[in-house]
Amino acid sequence: VLRVYKAAVQQTLDILFLPEGTEFLTSTDAVSRDSADRTIIAWDFQSAAKISNQIFHERYTCPSLTLHPKEPMFVAQTNGNYAALFSSQRPYRISKKKRYEGHKVEGFSVGCEFSPDGTLLVTGSSDGKVFFYNYHTARIICTLSAHKEACVSAIFHPVLPSLLATCDWAGEIKIWQ
């Protein structure tokens, strides 16, 4: 073990290294009725110090974080049935103009990911569907009825970007082209 970071909150749901590798983000389950601070925490990799715990101000947990492959942005999947877009540079501001809405999370740890070229955001949904969003407009391009159970992950193949893998709550994995 090289370093230990302690958020002093409930469980950590996801970790995302930022492009330079000097900072990383964590999402936690630390949402209360009166406060949503500490939901997403920015950390300094070298010193283990918290840089910010006031990134996301809504009362939803964020089970999944994903980095845009080309732009200094990241998305936080929220249990509020939308994905929020943020700057991956300090002060990590949320985009008030773009929210990726339409899919359902409903307490599942639903993941999301950008296409390798950064033009699409894909996410699973608790109703078993996969949603494809235009990154720039935040509009749904299409949906895919992928599973009978909650689709908890959708991820592009790293070498063959026309292939998409999905998996559901019951353990079924499908590869799509």
Distance CA 151, CA 62 (A): 16
- At 73 the pLDDT is 97
- At 56 the pLDDT is 87
Question: By C-alpha distance, which of 75, 39, 42 is closest to 58?
Answer: 39
- At 38 the pLDDT is 59
Which 3 state secondary structure label does DSSP give 71?
coil
Question: By C-alpha distance, which of 56, 66, 59 is closest to 15?
Answer: 66
Give the single-character DSSP code of 93: P
Is residue 86 within 8 Å of residue 73, measured between CB atoms? yes
Mean pLDDT by 10 residues, the chain (177 residues): 76 92 88 62 91 84 94 95 95 94 93 96 97 98 97 94 95 96
Distance CA 138, CA 53 (A): 26
Report the C-alpha dihedral over residues 56, 59, 65, 68, rounded to 10 degrees: -50
- Distance, first Cα to last Cα, the chain: 41
Domains and CATH numbers, the chain: 12-176 (2.130.10.10)
